[in-house]
């Protein structure tokens, strides 16, 4: 599996607290089926993003954690004016593996009416927007139509693995399920911050999608889409989402093979 969102590097945000914890987190991810892990430190009002520092921590973590998992650089990019300006100056700097996909975090307190306009500016210089954990945003939970509009305009949605397991509460779980039912989820990622409360594991959520939706959808959300994002390739969405197609066919459709 490919995990596009994690806070595994030490001392640069509210994620890992030490290089020892970092190494354990990376090994935990590897031991539970993650083969590519994106380290995506915050860039927000509290934490500045220093790409060179992130690269040097990544190099150290690679050496210490050993083989079996590939580590790449990303960023948990908060929507704010300074960030937009900086990203317009260096379009690939904040994106996953510097290939164009940008993890975009919105405030929990307000949704700027010009959000779409700001995103368009980023898209015009080659970035593709992946909105992180809409199911955990209380304002977005009241604005399903906004999520639908954004997806229709070509933005992608990333749900947190633990939300599916109910660990961010019933409201987040229910909204995640609603988004999945409507085919509005493109990625599942761990958004790991530590070893216990928010661990870098995707395996249980993968299994949850297999059981509640389909193994094919799990492959897309945990493997194919995130792998394409790491490569910088377009997502192949022509038959997406597979589970809704199956539901739409219904009993008679299945019986007659239509
Ligand atoms: Fe995050």
Q: What is the pLDDT of residue 257?
A: 53
Q: Tell me, in angstroms, the distance from the centre of ligand 1 to residue 25's CA.
A: 15
Residues with CB under 5 A from ligand 1 (ion): 76, 191
Q: Tell me, in angstroms, the distance from the centre of ligand 1 to residue 252's CA.
A: 43
Q: Tell me, in angstroms, the distance from the centre of ligand 1 to residue 15's CA.
A: 9
Asked if the model's pLDDT at residue 250 lies above 80, the reply is no
Q: Tell me, in angstroms, the distance from the centre of ligand 1 to residue 219's CA.
A: 22
Domain count, the chain: 1
Q: Tell me, in angstroms, the distance from the centre of ligand 1 to residue 185's CA.
A: 17
Q: Tell me, in angstroms, the distance from the centre of ligand 1 to residue 49's CA.
A: 13
Q: Tell me, in angstroms, the distance from the centre of ligand 1 to residue 191's CA.
A: 5
Q: Tell me, in angstroms, the distance from the centre of ligand 1 to residue 173's CA.
A: 17
The sheet carrying 2-3 orders its strands as 2-3, 36-39, 70-73
- Residue in this structure with the two tokens 């906004």, named with its chain if needed: 146
Q: Tell me, in angstroms, the distance from the centre of ligand 1 to residue 100's CA.
A: 18
Q: Tell me, in angstroms, the distance from the centre of ligand 1 to residue 187's CA.
A: 14
CATH number of 192's domain:
3.20.20.140
Q: What is the pLDDT of residue 258?
A: 46
Residue 1 neighbours by CB under 8 Å, 6+ apart: 33, 34, 35, 202, 203, 206, 222, 223, 226
Q: What is the pLDDT of residues 54-74, one digit of tens each?
A: 999 999 999 999 999 999 999
Q: What is the pLDDT of residue 253?
A: 57
pLDDT range class, residue 245, cuts 50, 70, 90: very low
Asked if the model's pLDDT at residue 249 lies above 60, the reply is no
Q: Tell me, in angstroms, the distance from the centre of ligand 1 to residue 14's CA.
A: 9
Asked if the model's pLDDT at residue 94 lies above 50, the reply is yes
Asked if the model's pLDDT at residue 229 lies above 70, the reply is yes
Q: Tell me, in angstroms, the distance from the centre of ligand 1 to residue 153's CA.
A: 23
Q: What is the pLDDT of residues 171-189, one digit of tens each?
A: 999 999 999 999 999 999 9
Q: What is the pLDDT of residues 188-227, one digit of tens each?
A: 999 999 999 999 999 999 999 999 999 999 999 999 999 9
The C-alpha atoms of residue 168 and residue 164 are separated, in whole angstroms, by 8
Q: Tell me, in angstroms, the distance from the centre of ligand 1 to residue 216's CA.
A: 26
CB 164 within 8 A of CB 188: yes
Q: What is the pLDDT of residues 124-170, one digit of tens each?
A: 999 999 999 999 999 999 999 999 999 999 999 999 999 999 999 99
Q: What is the pLDDT of residues 6-58, one digit of tens each?
A: 999 999 999 999 999 999 999 999 999 999 999 999 999 999 999 999 999 99
Q: Tell me, in angstroms, the distance from the centre of ligand 1 to residue 13's CA.
A: 10
In which domain, by residue range, is 246 found?
2-256
Q: Tell me, in angstroms, the distance from the centre of ligand 1 to residue 108's CA.
A: 13
Q: Tell me, in angstroms, the distance from the centre of ligand 1 to residue 241's CA.
A: 25
Q: Tell me, in angstroms, the distance from the centre of ligand 1 to residue 213's CA.
A: 25
Q: Tell me, in angstroms, the distance from the centre of ligand 1 to residue 5's CA.
A: 6
């Amino acid at each position: 599996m490919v995990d596009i969102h994690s806070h595994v590097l030490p001392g640069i945000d509210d994620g890992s607290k030490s290089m020892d914890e970092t190494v354990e987190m990376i090994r935990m991810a590897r031991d539970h089926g993650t083969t590519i892990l994106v380290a995506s430190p915050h860039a927000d009002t509290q934490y500045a993003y220093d790409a060179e520092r992130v690269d040097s921590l990544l190099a150290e973590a690679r050496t210490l954690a050993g083989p079996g998992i590939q580590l790449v650089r990303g960023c948990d990019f908060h929507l704010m004016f300074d960030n937009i300006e900086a990203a317009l100056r260096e379009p690939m700097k904040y994106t996953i593996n510097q290939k164009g996909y940008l993890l975009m975090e919105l405030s929990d307190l307000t949704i700027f009416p010009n959000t779409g306009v700001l995103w368009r500016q980023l898209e015009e210089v080659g970035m593709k927007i992946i909105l992180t954990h809409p199911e955990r945003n209380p304002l977005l939970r009241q604005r399903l139509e906004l999520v639908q509009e954004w997806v229709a305009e070509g933005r992608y949605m990333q749900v947190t693995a633990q939300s599916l397991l109910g660990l961010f509460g019933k409201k987040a779980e229910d909204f995640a399920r609603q988004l999945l039912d409507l085919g509005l989820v493109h990625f599942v990622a761990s958004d790991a911050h530590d070893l216990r409360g928010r661990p870098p594991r995707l395996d249980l959520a993968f299994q949850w999608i297999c059981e509640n939706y389909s193994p094919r959808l799990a492959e897309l959300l945990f493997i194919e889409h995130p792998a394409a994002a790491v490569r910088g390739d377009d997502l192949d969405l022509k038959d997406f989402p597979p589970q809704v197609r199956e539901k739409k066919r219904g009993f008679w459709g299945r019986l007659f093979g239509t």
